[in-house]
Amino acid sequence: MSNPSIGTSSKAKVGSSQPSETSFKRKRGVFQKDLQHMMYGFGDDANPLPETVTLVEDIVVEYVTDLAHKAQDIGTKRGKLSVEDFLYLIRKDMPKLNRCTELLSMQEELKQARKAFEKQKVQEESGMNSELPVTQKKPILQFRQKKPVGVDSSQGKPRLSKAILAGIFASS
């Protein structure tokens, strides 16, 4: 006494949180091994519950999909999607932004190293065994300043001199 329409209606209810059932179907469990290792690295059990891993995977996929859609909306205003669109979206989350810029600078360094390696390989094959100067840019890292430069922590807060305060408040 099974009714096939009942199965499809429950499927539609489950899939209703998706934009549309035909627009995108993803394989579940693609990231489960990676997520298990990440969860273990962040303090979970070595073998977390499969339901937990599935839930985390759904949350991550939903977040990345939402971020990609927002970046696409921003990119269509300029005519194309770029990395800067994603950086713009995460600009207020400093740890994510710093990690992304670090990964992007490492990607650029790897690209330059591969290019230099290919040039060297081509020169060796052609018989020109000369050394290529490899110039690598060091990434510029910006760190927030915790205390004023040149102020010793034992001195406490820097104080304004009486002359500066007199100059500021003398005009009133």
| pLDDT digit string, tens, across residues 105-137 | 999 999 999 999 998 888 888 876 555 555 666
Question: What pLDDT does 20 receive?
Answer: 44
Q: Report residue 26's pLDDT band, with 50, 70 and 90 as the boundaries.
A: confident
Q: Where are the domains of the chain?
A: 27-86, 90-127
| pLDDT digit string, tens, across residues 47-83 | 999 999 999 999 999 999 999 999 999 999 888 999 9
Q: Is 6 a residue whose pLDDT tops 50?
A: no
Q: Is 4 a residue whose pLDDT tops 50?
A: no
Percent of the chain at pLDDT exceeding 90 = 46
Q: How far apart are CA 52 and CA 38, in angstroms?
A: 13
pTM above the 0.85 mark? no
Identify the residue whose tokens are 């430069």: 149
Query: For residue 8, what are its two tokens?
Result: 């499809």
Q: How far apart are CA 134 and CA 116, in angstroms?
A: 7
Question: What pLDDT does 49 receive?
Answer: 93
Q: How far apart are CA 124 and CA 4, in angstroms?
A: 68
Residues 98/71, Cβ–Cβ less than 8 Å? no
Q: Which class is 27-86 in CATH?
A: mainly alpha
Question: What pLDDT does 7 receive?
Answer: 41
Residues 6+ apart with CB under 8 A from 160: none
Q: Report residue 151's pLDDT band, with 50, 70 and 90 as the boundaries.
A: low
Residues 36/47, Cβ–Cβ less than 8 Å? yes
Q: What is the average pLDDT score of the chain?
A: 77
